[in-house]
Amino acid sequence: MSLTSNEALRMVAAAQQKAGEAGAAISTAVVDAGGHLLALVRMERSPWLTADSAHAMAYTAAGFGMAGAKLTRFAAAPWFQALTVQSGGLVTAADGALPIRRDGSVIGAIACSGASDEVDLACAEAGIAALGVSV
């Protein structure tokens, strides 16, 4: 089963609420299993670049089926850097991105950018919790 735009918006709302509770302003991106954007929202106080970062982080987490934190160990590898260049910067590794799984299959990813790694990750986790699915 695929991820819907309504589900993506519900995840964004939960992530933004968590960011507000932490006193942070973030951008949140949700992509489908192919890395195609379903939702992207930048909170008013979040720096403009965070929207592009969140999209790239979600794209990468969906493509690899791995959390951004786990992908950072590959960031310096030549093959990963080549993918980053080939993708025009869409392949990137950073904390705050999580794959979304339903019935054991990756159906997309969520990423948050703009706060500390810990807050970004907590916001992404809140988005996933809003759907009741797994990472």
Residue in the block written with tokens 């799984």: 101
Q: 24 with 112: CB under 8 angstroms?
A: no
pLDDT in tens, the chain (135 residues): 799 999 999 999 999 999 999 999 999 999 999 999 999 999 999 999 999 999 999 999 999 999 999 999 999 999 999 999 999 999 999 999 999 999 999 999 999 999 999 999 999 999 999 998 766
Name the strand (E) or helix (H) holding 108: strand 105-113
pLDDT at res. 133: 78
pLDDT at 134: 64
**Structure tokens that stand for 2 in this block:** 């695929």
Domains along the chain?
A: 5-131 (3.30.450.150)
pTM of the model: 0.94
Q: For residues 33 and 12, what is the distance between their CA atoms, to the nearest angstrom? A: 17
Predicted local distance difference test score (pLDDT) of residue 135: 61
Q: Work out the widest C-alpha separation in the chain, in whole angstroms.
A: 39
